Amino acid sequence: MKHLRTILIALAAITLTGCMEWDYGREESFSNSASGLFITNEGNFQYGNASLSFYDPATREVENELFYRSNAMKLGDVAQSMVIRNGVGWVVVNNSHVVFAIDTDTYKEVGRITGLTSPRYIHFVSDEKYDQLVADGAFVEYATVHGNRYGTLRSEVYQRPERGENVVLDIDVQGALNVKLVRTTMLIFVALAWTLIMASRAKKNGEADANDSPLAVVKKTFPMFILWFVVAMVINTYVLSMSETGIAIGNAVNDLARKSLTLTLFFIGASLSTDTLKTVGIKPLIQGILLWLVISLSTLAYIFSHLLSSSGE
- The pLDDT tens digits for 39-66 are 999 989 888 899 999 998 888 889 899 8
HSE of 223 in the Cβ direction (CA atoms, 13 Å)?
Answer: 12
CB 232 within 8 A of CB 256: no
What is residue 2's predicted lDDT score, i.e. its pLDDT?
A: 47
pLDDT of residue 153: 81
C-alpha span between 55 and 79 (Å, rounded): 17
User: Between residues 193 and 298, which one has the greater pLDDT?
Assistant: 298
pLDDT tens, residue by residue, 179-194: 666 666 666 777 777 7
Instruction: Measure CA 85 to chain center.
Output: 24
Q: DSSP letter string over 86-143? A: TTEEEEEETTTTEEEEEETTT--EEEEE-S-SS--------HHHHHHHHHTT-EEEEE
Half-sphere exposure of 151 (CA within 13 A, CB side): 23
pLDDT tens, residue by residue, 127-171: 888 888 888 888 877 777 666 777 888 887 778 778 888 877 766
pLDDT band at 230 (very low <50, low <70, confident <90, very high): confident
What CA–CA distance (Å, rounded) separates 169 from 32?
38
Chain centroid offset of residue 271 CA: 36
Assess whether pLDDT exceeds 90 at residue 82.
yes
What would the pLDDT profile of 1-27 be if each residue is shown by its tens digit? 444 444 444 444 434 433 434 444 567
Q: What is the CA radius of gyration of the chain?
A: 31
Strand order in the sheet with 109-113: 79-85, 88-93, 98-103, 109-113
Q: What is the mean pLDDT of residues 273-299?
A: 82
Nearest to residue 84, comparing CAs of 62, 116, 110, 57?
110
pLDDT in tens, 92-130: 999 998 999 999 889 999 988 887 778 888 888 888 888
**Average model confidence (pLDDT) across the chain:** 76
